Amino acid sequence: MNYRKINGKIIFITGGVLSSLGKGIFSASLASIFKERKLKVNMMKFDPYLNVDPGTISPIEHGEVFVTRDGGETDLDIGHYERFINQNLTKNSSISSGKIYSNLIEDERKGKYLGKTVQIIPNVIDKIIELVLKNLNGYDLLVVEIGGTVGDIESIPYFETIRQLQFQRENVINIHIGFIPFLKINKEYKSKPFQHSVKQLHSLGVFPNFLVTRSEEKISSTIIDKISANCSVHKDYIFELENVDSVYQIPQKLVDEKIDQKIADILNLNLKYSPIKNYQLIDKLIKDQKIGEIKIVIVGKYHNLKDSYLSIIESLRIISIYQKISLKIELFDAKSLNVNDLKNFSGIIIAGGFGIEGTSGKISAIKYARENNIPLLGICFGMQLLILEFAKNIAKLNVYHEELNPNKNNFIIHLLKDQDLKKLGGTMRLGEYNCKLIDNTLAKRIYKKSMIKERHRHRYEFNNKYKKELEQKGLLFSGINPENNLVEIVEYKNNDFYIGVQFHPEFNTTLYKLDPLFESFINAAYQYEKKRKNN
């Protein structure tokens, strides 16, 4: 058993009954509270799947891939963490079982274990503990979310890690979240599935310090008493987390229930207690009367799961809260798009994606937005299609996108140098790169600076040999990567708001830091909507 002394405090968050309970939101909310209480806080997540990272998993299956500044392709919950705690995390914040096992096997092949048998205990557990302590180093508190649910066979090593570390009770606690289903036919909530999930935890040697019930609405004190009696947790340490109007109200709700004080008592944390003005401001803005309404459509190919575009949606939501605008968002499937359905929207976003599927629908949406002067934002692959549509329909060029038509020539969008399509995982242009903004452009007016740094995730780039021909037709290349002379931003000067970016600005918005491009897009959509209503 690993008895290495822990210098700092660790909170493990686990889940039961079913997935998608909101463990990531809860973890992020909790961490944000302790950061507001003046602790130095870090966060990380373990995912039990055997992919080395989520970079090769379809967004329809697992939601968006969130890219960290240092180029990590991470779980979407890392995006929640950054948005709530207003802090940039790293690729070490998102660890999968696949990454742990691949590193372990690589070490074994190099002879690191000197002929010893490599096993789950102690070797895998030691590796997990090593990663936890690495993320704790230099911080007062580390919040660790365990993906999946208790009972999953893949998750057992993580629960064993908690069991071993919980021997240092003054430094390590576990908070377990479980779902309380509502039976409509009986009109009552049922706590038995939750109780069984806690008993599964007990069978693995993990005894939670706190329980959190997730439900549609508030549950009765009788159910709380029942859970307390059957799960060996005092009712004062059981918290309710029913659905709220906005997830950004959850931190204040947890503060109202004094969760931070109760955790501080167990972990002996020294907190600064005072009303958190940021939470009060956000709660007030959410409830304030709105100055108007806009409807934004996201045109993409992964419409089956809204988490595929989670950071785009949350950026729009956060900024609309601050701007006191009522926001409606719809996802349109590019594969079956009817452009006439776009006429009632205030702004159009062409989302990123990979592969040929849905391309014609996205190009039709771009053409419709350009011809009708509807605010248009193209992101990553969306920017590339803005260029392709312009080149074909305005400049009348016979050109192609290499990913979409690899057997053609005349590629206006071509593969990056040194890209090996035989190895897809972690080989793209990833992470933060410089972008120099050109004077007298919309981009320069939006960012109000000469140089910005933005996060990337792509394989294909604009072919600069077509730059002059497109400029002559009115396309502006307003952002350039100075190190490699790569196009980062394009815009069309004939439209009020028509802009495409090779990077992912949606990863920048947090609760306390708004991305300028999304701010400008929402402003443009609001002005467009006002103008349309006045005509």
**φ, ψ at 53 (rounded to 5°):** -155, 170
- The domain of 434 spans 289-534
Distance CA 124, CA 113 (A): 13
Q: Does the structure show a pLDDT above 70 at 386?
A: yes
Can you read off the two tokens belonging to residue 360?
Answer: 């014609």
- Determine the Cα–Cα distance for residues 384 and 388; give it in Å rounded to an integer: 6
For helices 259-267 and 23-36, angle between their N-to-C axes, nearest 10 degrees: 70
Q: What is the 3-state secondary structure (H, E, C) of 65-130?
A: CEECCCCCEECCHHHHHHHHHCCCCCHHHEEEHHHHHHHHHHHHHCCCCCCCCCCHHHHHHHHHHH
Q: Supply the CATH number for residue 220's domain.
A: 3.40.50.300
Last residue of a domain, one of 216, 250, 282: 282
> What is the residue-wise DSSP string for 32-71?
HHHHHTT--EEEEEEE-SSSSSGGGS-HHHH-PPEEPTT-
* Residue 61 pLDDT class (50, 70, 90 cuts): confident
Confidence of residue 187 (pLDDT cuts 50, 70, 90): confident
Identify the bridge partners of residue 143 per DSSP, sorted by sequence position. 11, 43
* CB 93, CB 135: distance < 8 Å: yes
First to last CA, the chain: 73
State which of 232, 263, 282 marks the end of a domain.
282
Judge whether residue 5 has pLDDT over 90.
no
Distance set, CA 365 to CA 258, 329, 490 (Å) = 49, 16, 17
Kindly state whether residue 372 falls inside one of the protein's structural domains: yes
On whether both 44 and 111 belong to a single domain, the answer is yes
Say yes or no to pLDDT of 156 above 70: yes
Tokens of 406: 């690899």
Burial of 111 (0-12, 13-18, 19+ CB in 10 A): exposed
Rounded CA-CA distance 254/259 in Å is 6
Would you call 506 a catalytic residue per the annotation?
Answer: yes
pLDDT over 60 (residue 422): no
Q: What is the pLDDT of residues 96-151, one digit of tens each?
A: 999 999 999 999 999 998 889 999 999 999 999 999 999 999 999 999 999 999 98
> Is 212 found in the same domain as 95?
yes
Q: 516-534 and 310-322 helices cross at what angle (nearest 10)?
A: 70
- Say whether both 175 and 275 belong to one domain: yes
Among 380, 488, 491, 529, the one annotated catalytic: 380
Tell me the C-alpha distance between 378 and 389, whole Å: 12
Q: Which residues contact 111 (CB under 8 A, 6 or more apart)?
A: none
Is residue 427 situated within a structural domain? yes
| CB distance 225 to 266 below 8 Å | no
Q: Of 131, 140, 194, 193, which is closest to residue 158 (Cα–Cα)?
A: 131
Whether residues 55 and 161 fall in one domain: yes
**Catalytic-role residue among 432, 491, 504, 529:** 504
Which of residues 282, 302, 329 is at a domain's end? 282
Structure tokens at 3: 């008895």
Residue type, 376: L
Please indicate whether residue 380 is annotated as part of the active site.
Answer: yes
Does residue 133 share a domain with residue 70? Answer: yes
Place of tokens 């963490």: 81
pLDDT score of 427 more than 80: no
On whether both 404 and 372 belong to a single domain, the answer is yes
Instruction: Please report where in the chains the tokens 């947890």 appear, as a residue.
Output: 254
Query: Does any domain span residue 1?
Result: no
Short-list 39, 26, 37, 87, CA closest to 512: 87
* pLDDT confidence band for 532 (50 / 70 / 90): confident
Whether the pLDDT of residue 410 is over 80: the answer is yes
Sign of CA dihedral 223, 229, 232, 237: positive
Is the residue at 2 inside a domain? no
Separate counts of helices (H) and strands (E) for the chain: 17, 23
3-state secondary structure 352-396: CCCCCCCHHHHHHHHHHHHHHCCCEEEECHHHHHHHHHHHHHCCC
Residues 214 and 186 in one domain: yes
Per DSSP, the residues of 478-510 read: EEEETTTTEEEEEEETTSSSEEEESS-GGGS-B
Residue with the two structure tokens 């972990």: 267
Q: DSSP label at 23? A: H
User: Distance between CA 232 and CA 235 in Å, rounded?
Assistant: 9
Give how far Cα 491 sits from Cα of 376, 414, 461, 471, 475, Å: 10, 20, 16, 10, 6
Min mean pLDDT across 210-219, 255-264, 291-300, 417-426 is at 417-426
Q: Bigger pLDDT: 304 or 309? A: 309
Q: How many residues does the chain have?
A: 535
Does one domain contain both 302 and 263? no
For the chain, how many structural domains are there in total?
A: 2
Position 291 scores a pLDDT of 93
Tell me if 43 is assigned to some domain. Answer: yes
Which of 82, 160, 240, 506 does the annotation list as catalytic? 506
The pLDDT of residue 367 is 97
CA angle 364, 367, 371 (to 5 degrees): 140
Structural domain contains residue 298: yes
Label residue 3 by pLDDT band (50, 70, 90).
Answer: low
Question: In terms of pTM, does the model score above 0.75?
Answer: yes
Q: What is the pLDDT of residue 81?
A: 98
State the number of CA atoms in the 13 A half-sphere of 479 facing the CB. Answer: 28
Determine, yes or no, domain membership for 4.
Answer: no
Please check whether residue 53 lies inside any domain of the structure.
Answer: yes
Q: Are residues 487 and 530 in the same domain?
A: yes
Same domain, 128 and 148: yes
CB 181 within 8 A of CB 21: no
Higher pLDDT, 479 or 301: 479
Mean pLDDT over 367-393 rounds to: 97
pLDDT value at 419 more than 60: no
User: What pLDDT is recorded for position 32?
Assistant: 97
For the cut 70, the answer to whether the pLDDT of residue 222 exceeds it is yes
The answer to whether residues 336 and 429 belong to one domain is yes
Count CB atoms within 10 A of the CB of residue 459. Answer: 18
Same domain, 405 and 430: yes
pLDDT band at residue 306 using 50, 70 and 90 as cut-offs: confident
Q: Which of 52-66, 79-93, 487-501, 503-517 has the lowest mean pLDDT?
A: 52-66
Q: Closest Cα partner for 14 from 4, 5, 24?
A: 24
pLDDT attached to residue 354:
79
Which CATH number covers residue 309? 3.40.50.880
Calculate what percentage of the chain has a pLDDT beyond 70: 97
